[in-house]
Structure 1
Amino acid sequence: MDLETLLSYEWGIMAPEFIILGVATALTLMDLFMPKTQSRKILGWVGFAGILAALVSLLGLIGHGPESILLDTFRLDSFAKAFKLLLLIGSALVLLIAISYEPNEGLEEFRGEFFYLFLAALLGAMIMSSSGDLITLFVGLELLSISSYILAGMRKRNQLSNESAMKYVINGSIATAITLFGMSYVYGLTGTTNLKEMAGFLTSVYNEQHIYLLGLAFFMIVVGLSFKLAAAPFHMWAPDVYQGAPTPVTAFLSVVSKTAGFIIIIRILFSIFANAPSGDVQGLPMILALQDYIAFLAGATMIIGNVIALRQRNIKRLFAYSSIAQAGYLLVVIASMSLFMFDTLWFYLGAYLFMNLGAFAIIQHVTHKSGSEDISQFAGLYRRAPFLAIAMAVFLLSLAGIPGTAGFIGKLNIFMGALVPSEGHYVLVSIMIATTVISYFYYFGVMVQMFFRPAADTGKVKIPVALTAVIGISIAATILFGVAPNIAFDFLQGNFNQFTDFFQ
């Protein structure tokens, strides 16, 4: 590639990625040359400013038409812009949580590493959302994964943190190998790694053996990426990693990393297998012929996540199983494949972002003050800190899907989407209703502790400014999008053109 061709590309569409890369590089150099005695929190604020700059840059690109550069390996379409918006907002809130994080065993000497590894993980997720090629998708996935492995083990003197990092690395490596194996089959059949070229080639595949290999590739890719989503029965790593990792990392994994997982699933499955023949007599595309398997995965994930959560006493493990259950609800969206699938997925991930990060901000503060992660530490929180108790109640009600919250609107959209097709997914909807009712028991169990149990410690709770900002923003968004969801849907439909350019 000559210099003239290189300069001819519209590099401006990569401005958010360049900003995150530049800030991460700057933080690395600042951490290297700063005195060891100086607090690294300043690096967190620089990183936060960088994320806000990337967010402003992305908002400036919303009116930009779909465009691709670098031989169609990087695409700026409506899907990329909409989901990058979630990634950047979620990451900004997680960074505010991280700035306030003070573990009992100390973290100051490693705090600088946290901030630039966090930005590297965010960069990987953003690359995935704009990838038009399997190679760039995989590079983004590994940048996110490797950074996450290190972040999970950031508390080097904590045994649980070390254990969580080890389990995460082993499970993540196996998942990556399975995913890559599935990708290699598709590449072998098509001779290209470009998603658009693959889709065009697969429309003309009629050889039964080739279709069989495509089916194998589909299952391996779905299984490998199900590890990333913590979907049952590939969820084994999640509770231990969520419990052992630093709380900001747990928040990041539960929201930003999960969003990235759904981004890569949509990019691969609907770019490649939406056009691939399944070989059945009805001539259905492979993704429609095999959607029952995704539905089974969704049902198993909802049941296992919600049922096992009933027995949890550790608040972070409880939220780990809650996160697994939420992945099941989101898989229902993919299994139903309704016309407004992208809208439903985007809204629910946005609602989940605010209600979960707000809850983790409160969990971090309460568990740090008490030195324990047992649910009993929330006893009498309403008497000690009414603001925290009321905010936590709103987030729990939203996670449970109670009317008046964003979580309710999100679940309602999922129900409607699953029932819209001519052959509605009635069994899946029934499982979702039943498991949602089950979730009330453990969500309301935390509320009982906060409002109806005597407090062990009657001292008042002082909340850091950064955590107050996260909780305030999250509670406002959770209530606003629950009462007036049209604000989000009008913004989505007015700026992202129904995601029609996803398949162009």
Structure 2
Amino acid sequence: MNGASKWGNLANFDWSVMTPEFTILGVATLLSLLDLVFSKKTDRRILAWIGLLGIIVAGYFVVRNTGKDVVSIMNDMYRLDSFANGFKLIFLSGVALVFLISINYVDEQKNILYSGEYYYLILTALLGAMIMASSADLITLFVGLELLSISSYILVGTRKNHIQSNESSFKYVVSGGIATAITLYGMSFIYGLTGSTNLYVIAERLTAAYQSGFSYLVLLAFFLVLVGLAFKISAVPYHMWAPDVYQGAPTPITAFLSVVSKAAGFAIILRIFLVAFGGLFEMGAANQPVSVLLDKLSLYIGIVAAASMIIGNTMALRQVNIKRMMAYSGIAQAGYLLVPFATFTLLMYEQTIFYFVAYLLANMGIFAIIMIVNRDQNTEDVKSFAGLYHRAPWIALAMTFFVLSLAGIPVTAGFFGKFYIFISSVAHHNYWLAGIMMATSVVSYYYYFGVIRQMYMRPGKTEARLKVPVSIAVVVLIAVVGTIAAGIMPDLVMNYIHSHFPFQQMLQPGPQQAAPQ
């Protein structure tokens, strides 16, 4: 009876809030069934177009849900709020671009033996990321995390006859398993201290546990979860898997890991730390409450951010493989994205979403170009870009804008992404972190501009025109227009994020959770 009174009749829950997830689940199931009935000679690219259509439909449902009040079902295990909608749009946009890149990649690369699996595994990974964005419970957060992770492990190893792909997949599984164990260990401490897996209940009880003599265990739980989730965003100290995995994975999957998987990691970090640990306080001088997250823990997040920026950018300097260079660039970008977590401004969510928009556009465009250039030159060396301006001028120009955006040069979205984060750091007197951010950005110019130097100032092996498939041209065009537009009109983007995805919704506990009788 207690269970019935708590959960009520499942049919009475407002399941329409999960329409985007149900759409992706249905399309993934459809693709798996079609793959079974298709003959070996059937062109599997039709699966990619069906999947892309499903992503567009799911995106429509997310947009339709935008602007609604907080809706919570299943005892607050799943909630629809502006936070979830903002990240879901990033996930869906990123995966849509990955599908467009993959259409040509899978068609040309004969070593992906089972292309049907490739497409629906991307959708299951997307489903895991979307569940993570809407979860307000440690259990559903972990389920979404594992669905994303396990799908990613398989996708990295889809080039079955490629030794680097097999090696990177093995390393990814082992590293991911260790990170999962560490994350679960930290979550077990949180559950033991509070007696609940719901983040909002944890937030209510964690301060009492902290002030009752269990402060050491609360801090230990925080650090274990932080270290475990650092794996998902490829931040120090759990970053060394990234170069090998980025290099060995199929290029579209590398793009997926660099944007969608990383964004999902930041979504779960935001949920756990701001909801569960955001209200944690202790009594300070003059018997005034002091936020533990701001007063103590933000310093350690700042150290992780600084270490990621320094190690990522310095290690990228000596890379000759373009995908490994982008892996270390991704580590540095994770450091930049962690800076708002060390300052905890009111605009932290808007800054993170804006940065991810800029990062998504630049990275997807770069990896689309990397794919066609590396395939044409049959090498992943940075020198494969030599003479690209003479072979495909508009592709080289687009690549220039993408690289400048990652470097944080004006008139690009990446510049304002870094600028907003830098200003918030200075405003909160985190001068040392702002200084490291500036210094490492200058260091990054060397390897970013190295790609530009190859395209414009180094002769290539051939002057023949580079063939650009239509799907790749569409991805590059979308990315370069978005990068320039967000760089010219950043206030328009920030105002849209602020008005349509108010951060305060995430901090509001859901309405009555039990379904009506």
Please say whether Structure 1 and Structure 2 have the same fold, judged by a TM-score greater than 0.5: yes
Deviation of 1:502 after TM superposition, in Å, equals: 2.9
Tell me, in whole angstroms, the C-alpha distance in 2 between the residues paired with 1:46 and 1:108. Answer: 19
Tell me, in whole angstroms, the C-alpha distance in 2 between the residues paired with 1:70 and 1:267. Answer: 17
Deviation of 1:210 after TM superposition, in Å, equals: 1.6
Pick one of 458, 467, 471 that aligns with 1:466: 471
Q: What residue is the counterpart of 2:79 in the other structure?
A: 75
Q: What residue is the counterpart of 2:293 in the other structure?
A: 287
Pick one of 13, 20, 23 that aligns with 2:24: 20
Pick one of 297, 319, 323 that aligns with 1:312: 319
**1:179-198 correspondence to structure 2 within 5 Å:** 179-198=183-202
Q: What residue is the counterpart of 1:144 in the other structure?
A: 148
Q: Is the 8 A contact 1:211 1:278 kept in 2?
A: no
1:42 equivalent in alignment to 2:49: no
Moved more, 488-497 or 261-270: 488-497
**1:52-71 correspondence to structure 2 within 5 Å:** 52-71=56-75
Q: What residue is the counterpart of 1:341 in the other structure?
A: 348
Tell me, in whole angstroms, the C-alpha distance in 2 between the residues paired with 1:213 and 1:367. Answer: 49
**1:10-409 correspondence to structure 2 within 5 Å:** 10-102=14-106, 106-107=110-111, 109-207=113-211, 209-277=213-281, 283-288=289-294, 289-409=296-416
Q: What residue is the counterpart of 2:514 in the other structure?
A: none
Tell me, in whole angstroms, the C-alpha distance in 1 between the residues paired with 2:216 and 2:432. Answer: 28
The 3-state SS of whatever aligns with 1:205 is helix
Tell me, in whole angstroms, the C-alpha distance in 2 between the residues paired with 1:176 and 1:484. Answer: 40
Pick one of 390, 405, 426 that aligns with 1:419: 426
Deviation of 1:363 after TM superposition, in Å, equals: 0.2
Aligned residues: 502
Deviation of 1:102 after TM superposition, in Å, equals: 4.2
Q: Please, which runs of 5 or more residues in structure 2 have no aligned partner?
A: 510-517
1:476 equivalent in alignment to 2:481: yes
Q: Is the 8 A contact 1:103 1:368 kept in 2?
A: no
Deviation of 1:252 after TM superposition, in Å, equals: 0.2
Per-residue CA deviations over 1:49-103 (Å, capped at 9, x if unaligned) read: 0000000111111122111001110010110111111111111111111111148
Tell me, in whole angstroms, the C-alpha distance in 1 between the residues paired with 2:361 and 2:213. Answer: 46
Moved more, 455-464 or 272-281: 272-281
| Amino acid aligned to 2:316 | A
Tell me, in whole angstroms, the C-alpha distance in 2 between the residues paired with 1:447 and 1:80. Answer: 37
Deviation of 1:12 after TM superposition, in Å, equals: 0.8
Moved more, 239-248 or 100-109: 100-109
Tell me, in whole angstroms, the C-alpha distance in 2 between the residues paired with 1:205 and 1:64. Answer: 35
Tell me, in whole angstroms, the C-alpha distance in 2 between the residues paired with 1:360 and 1:377. Answer: 14
The TM-score normalised by the length of structure 2 is 0.95
Q: Is the 8 A contact 2:159 2:166 kept in 1?
A: yes
How well do the aligned residues superpose, as a CA RMSD in angstroms? 1.5
| Residues 68 and 427 (structure 1), Cα distance of their counterparts in 2 relative to 1, 3 Å cut | same
Deviation of 1:361 after TM superposition, in Å, equals: 0.3
| Amino acid aligned to 1:90 | G
Pick one of 446, 453, 457 that aligns with 1:441: 446
Tell me, in whole angstroms, the C-alpha distance in 2 between the residues paired with 1:387 and 1:34. Answer: 39
Tell me, in whole angstroms, the C-alpha distance in 1 between the residues paired with 2:227 and 2:331. Answer: 15
| Residues 304 and 103 (structure 1), Cα distance of their counterparts in 2 relative to 1, 3 Å cut | farther
Tell me, in whole angstroms, the C-alpha distance in 1 between the residues paired with 2:156 and 2:379. Answer: 19
Tell me, in whole angstroms, the C-alpha distance in 1 between the residues paired with 2:234 and 2:107. Answer: 26
Tell me, in whole angstroms, the C-alpha distance in 1 between the residues paired with 2:339 and 2:224. Answer: 19
The 3-state SS of whatever aligns with 1:75 is strand
Deviation of 1:499 after TM superposition, in Å, equals: 3.4
Deviation of 1:487 after TM superposition, in Å, equals: 2.2
| Residues 452 and 219 (structure 1), Cα distance of their counterparts in 2 relative to 1, 3 Å cut | same
| Residues 76 and 383 (structure 1), Cα distance of their counterparts in 2 relative to 1, 3 Å cut | same
Tell me, in whole angstroms, the C-alpha distance in 1 between the residues paired with 2:14 and 2:67. Answer: 15
1:497 equivalent in alignment to 2:476: no
| Amino acid aligned to 2:435 | S
Deviation of 1:387 after TM superposition, in Å, equals: 1.2
Tell me, in whole angstroms, the C-alpha distance in 1 between the residues paired with 2:130 and 2:421. Answer: 25
Deviation of 1:107 after TM superposition, in Å, equals: 4.0
Deviation of 1:206 after TM superposition, in Å, equals: 4.6
Deviation of 1:39 after TM superposition, in Å, equals: 1.4
Larger RCO: Structure 1 or Structure 2 (Cα < 8 Å, ≥ 6 residues apart)? 2
| Amino acid aligned to 1:351 | A
Moved more, 195-204 or 273-282: 273-282
Q: Is the 8 A contact 1:69 1:75 kept in 2?
A: yes
Q: Is the 8 A contact 2:194 2:209 kept in 1?
A: no
| Residues 179 and 482 (structure 1), Cα distance of their counterparts in 2 relative to 1, 3 Å cut | same
Moved more, 232-241 or 486-495: 486-495
Deviation of 1:209 after TM superposition, in Å, equals: 3.6
| Amino acid aligned to 1:445 | G
Moved more, 353-362 or 59-68: 59-68
Deviation of 1:208 after TM superposition, in Å, equals: 5.0
| Amino acid aligned to 1:256 | V
Q: Percent identity?
A: 52
Deviation of 1:159 after TM superposition, in Å, equals: 0.2
Moved more, 473-482 or 271-280: 271-280
Q: Please, which runs of 5 or more residues in structure 1 have no aligned partner?
A: none
Tell me, in whole angstroms, the C-alpha distance in 1 between the residues paired with 2:412 and 2:123. Answer: 31
Q: Is the 8 A contact 1:202 1:277 kept in 2?
A: no
| Residues 361 and 168 (structure 1), Cα distance of their counterparts in 2 relative to 1, 3 Å cut | same
Tell me, in whole angstroms, the C-alpha distance in 2 between the residues paired with 1:464 and 1:125. Answer: 29
The 3-state SS of whatever aligns with 1:290 is helix
Q: Is the 8 A contact 1:273 1:285 kept in 2?
A: no
Q: Is the 8 A contact 1:118 1:151 kept in 2?
A: yes
| Amino acid aligned to 1:270 | L
Q: Is the 8 A contact 2:113 2:160 kept in 1?
A: no
| Amino acid aligned to 1:314 | N
| Residues 283 and 108 (structure 1), Cα distance of their counterparts in 2 relative to 1, 3 Å cut | same
